[in-house]
Amino acid sequence: MKESELPTLNGLLCFEATVRHGSMTLAAEDLGITQPLVSQRIRALEDVVGGILIDRSKKPVTPTVEGLKYYNELRGSTSSILRATDNARKDFRDTKTKISISAYFGFAFHWIMPRLQRLQQAFPDCLFEIQPTNSLSDLTTAHADILFHFSSKIGKYQFEKMLIPEVVFPVCSPNFAIKHGLKAGQMLSDLRNLPLLHKDVDDSRWLNWQRWAQALNVKPSSSPILFRYNNYPLIVEAAIGGHGLCLGWEGLINPFIEDGKLVELGPRLKSETRGYQICSDQYANFAIGNVIKWFINEVEQD
pLDDT digits (tens, 9 = 90+) for 226-271: 888 888 899 999 999 999 999 999 999 999 999 999 999 999 999 9
Q: What is the pTM of this model?
A: 0.65
CA–CA distance, 113 with 98 (Å, rounded to integer):
17
For the stretch 215-227, pLDDT in tens is 999 999 988 888 8
Strand ranges (E), 80-219: 97-104, 126-133, 146-151, 159-172
H or E element that contains 248: strand 246-249
Contact yes or no for 182/265 (Cβ under 8 A):
yes
Q: How confident is the model at residue 126 (pLDDT cuts 50, 70, 90)?
A: very high
CA–CA distance, 69 with 245 (Å, rounded to integer):
63
9-95 against 165-271: fold identical: no
CATH top class, domain 97-164+275-301: alpha beta
Burial call 191-207: b when 16+ CB within 10 Å, e when fewer: beebebbbbeeeeeebb
For the stretch 46-78, pLDDT in tens is 999 999 999 988 888 999 999 999 888 887 777
* CATH code of the domain made up of 9-95: 1.10.10.10
Beta bridge partners of 129: 100
What's the whole-number average pLDDT of the chain? 89
Where are the domains positioned within the chain?
9-95, 97-164+275-301, 165-271
For the domain with range 165-271, which CATH number is right: 3.30.479.10, 3.40.190.10, 2.60.40.10, 3.10.20.310? 3.40.190.10
